[in-house]
Amino acid sequence: MKSKQFFHEAPQSDIDTLVANKGTWGDIMEKYKQPDWCSYPNALEGVMGCSSLTDFSPDGFRCKVSESFCKTCEMFKVK
């Protein structure tokens, strides 16, 4: 079984295709995973998810998500 790709690392072209095909947050949660350091329950669940991670506009926060970016979040898992 192929491992899921992290949503914040998905190329914008993949996100644009999802949008064009009217993909749902459920589709995103099936295909992608949230960062390992994130303990936010269902972070990819759209409106109820992580606002930084689910901002998938071309210049949005999704592309900025990293351990460094997230380290001040209360849902950040400390190693």
Q: How far apart are CA 72 and CA 45, in angstroms?
A: 21
Continuous H helices in the chain: 12-20, 25-31, 67-70
Segment 16-32 shows an average pLDDT of 94
Q: How far is CA 64 from the centre of its chain?
A: 11
Q: How confident is the model at residue 6 (pLDDT cuts 50, 70, 90)?
A: very high
Segment 23-28 shows an average pLDDT of 94
Question: Can you give the pTM of this predicted structure?
Answer: 0.85
**E strands, 7-70, where?**
32-33
Domain boundary assignment for the chain: 5-70
